[in-house]
Chains A and B, each alone.
Chain A
Amino acid sequence: MKMEEMSLSGLDNSKLEAIAQEIYTDLVEDSCLGFCFEVHRAVKCGYFFLDDTDPESMKDFEIVDQPGLDIFGQVFNQWKSKECVCPNCSRSIAASRFAPHLEKCLGMGRNSSRIANRRIANSNNMNKSESDQEDNDDINDNDWSYGSEKKAKKRKSDKNPNSPRRSKSLKHKNGFSVCTSASYTLPLLFSSSGELSNSDPFKYNSSSGISYEALGPEELRSLLTTQCGVISEHTKKMCTRSLRCPQHTDEQRRAVRVYFLGPSAILPEVESSLDNDSFDMTDSQSLISRLQWDGSSDLSPSDSGSSKTSENQGWGLGTNSSESRKTKKKKSHLSLVGTASSLGSNKKKKPKPPAPPTPSIYDDIN
């Protein structure tokens, strides 16, 4: 009621302004008082000085505002071009690729190639000439790996060329494993034409080609029997297309085989006949001669014992094969005899062949 009597419109502007100022001042004072209470409480509770830092630490974490650096003073892309030296193989690796390289180099990661470790372990085992169980285990491994290889062709996942499943059998350096590998390759060869178009039995995932430096000599040979294998100029990789791929001529294929396998390498024309479903004993003879070559030089990488198979390709064949051929000729002959019999019987069957030849090899060794 009293408000109605005191109409504000009757006041002059200066008074209004004074009132406004007053109200404003009151508000500011209230804020100040509130602030004082806050500070006092903080002091008494002991948390008032908590956010204080000494000037030295402040300088350490000062915001950096220079071009090329982030606010912490770090250089962008600093580790991109840095190179580390691998302690295992003593190679200089780019920093961003160091971890995967170590994984494969040490053979301890999930995708690493454990073949090298297994090879060394197996060569040690064979040198000590352990019991039959060991070899049976290996045979079982081969069986399992062969089956998984066949299945793996159709799988789309994880076609890492270095995975242990790939061509496990070929990496064995035992004498008997030669026959197992031979018996595997042949059925695989025959089946390859039926089941595969461009993919090969060993699950190479590279679409363009394979880096031939990483392959052992046995793998190379088996590769060259099924694939074109011509090394591309710009990618330095082997062509994974079939033996009749239109991109490369037969001359190129012959040249590659000569380069890798020596002057007596089988030419693609002869090998292409192996892709057919039907085969004759004449073809098997050429196969056997090739396999004999396989068997004799098979031991050369294990002799050198290193994990680097690239050293053993071509050069190792020339130097070691002659010696090993003499010593192991008997063994390989036995193995080949065994495989020849198995070849006549089996074409695309599952790996039963290893069973008959191995006892004969065993007798020879022991």
Chain B
Amino acid sequence: MNKDAQMRAAINQKLIETGERERLKELLRAKLIECGWKDQLKAHCKEVIKEKGLEHVTVDDLVAEITPKGRVDSSMNFNTCLDSCSYHYNQALVPDSVKKELLQRIRTFLAQHASL
């Protein structure tokens, strides 16, 4: 497990160093706006805010409502990770095409830097 953690850390570091992480992030943002994910979330946010009252909304409230309810941590394995992912509200809203494309790019990146 330590190895895995180390590996993951190393990979993340590589992602950041090459700037791939930023590029992936921008790509994801653009695609999410394009597919209307942001608008859907915005509508959801409006409901939450109307519920809670405009004056008393905090960041935590929003984050709690919007981001996935369960966090994916290293203790989970791949399958359970997938299951829990699909139930998360916002992740369920992301279209499959966007998800697939991003995963593809990540795999490509990993394959490129495999020998490193």
Residues on A lying within 8 angstroms of B by beta carbon are: 2-4, 6-9, 11, 14-25, 27-37, 39-40, 43, 48-49
Contact = CB atoms under 8 A, between A and B. Distances in A.
Contacts of A9: 114-115
Give 6 nearest A-B pairs by CB, closest first. Answer: A8-B114, A18-B78, A36-B62, A20-B106, A32-B67, A9-B114
A24 B99 contact: yes
B101 to A, nearest CB: 10
Contacts of B45: 39
Contacts of A34: 29
Interface in B1-53: 3-4, 6-8, 10-12, 14-15, 21, 24-25, 28-29, 32, 38, 41-42, 45-46, 49
Contacts of A21: 78, 81-82, 85, 103
Contact of A40 (B11, B58, B107): B58
A31 B32 contact: yes
Nearest to A11: B7
A286 B32 CA distance: 94
A268 B30 CA distance: 84
A39 B62 CA distance: 8
Given A3-B116, A22-B8, A28 B94 contact: yes
Interface in B71-103: 72, 77-78, 81-82, 85, 90-91, 94, 99, 102-103
Given A8-B7, A28-B90, A40-B62, A17 B25 contact: no
Contacts, number: 110
A34 B66 CA distance: 11
A40 B57 contact: yes
Contacts of B59: 36-37, 40
Contact of A27 (B4, B25, B85): B25
A23 B63 contact: no
A20 B113 contact: no
A340 to B, nearest CB: 92
Contact of A8 (B15, B46, B57, B113): B113
B102 A27 contact: yes
A19 B32 CA distance: 22
Contacts of A40: 57-59, 62
In this complex, which of B3, B14, B72 has the most chain A Cβ atoms within 10 angstroms of its Cβ?
A: B72
Contact of A20 (B29, B49, B67, B110): B110
B42 A39 contact: yes
A271 to B, nearest CB: 82
Contacts of A36: 59, 62-63, 66-67
B32 A23 contact: no
Interface of B: 3-4, 6-8, 10-12, 14-15, 21, 24-25, 28-29, 32, 38, 41-42, 45-46, 49, 54, 57-59, 62-63, 66-68, 72, 77-78, 81-82, 85, 90-91, 94, 99, 102-103, 106-107, 110, 113-116
B28 A23 contact: no
B107 to A, nearest CB: 5
Contacts of B21: 27
Nearest to A14: B78
Contacts of A49: 46
A31 B26 CA distance: 9
Given A24-B102, A27-B25, 5 more contacts: A6-B6, A15-B4, A32-B66, A34-B29, A36-B67
A20 B14 CA distance: 13
A4 B116 contact: yes
A37 B25 CA distance: 16
17 contacts: A8-B115, A16-B107, A17-B78, A20-B106, A21-B81, A23-B106, A27-B21, A29-B68, A32-B41, A32-B66, A32-B68, A36-B59, A39-B45, A39-B62, A40-B58, A48-B46, A48-B49
B77 A35 contact: no
B2 to A, nearest CB: 11
A17 B63 CA distance: 27
Contact of B110 (A2, A16, A28, A33): A16
B50 to A, nearest CB: 9
B28 A27 contact: yes
A49 B54 CA distance: 10
Contacts of B3: 6
Nearest to B91: A28
A19 B28 contact: no
Contact of A23 (B15, B42, B58, B113): B15
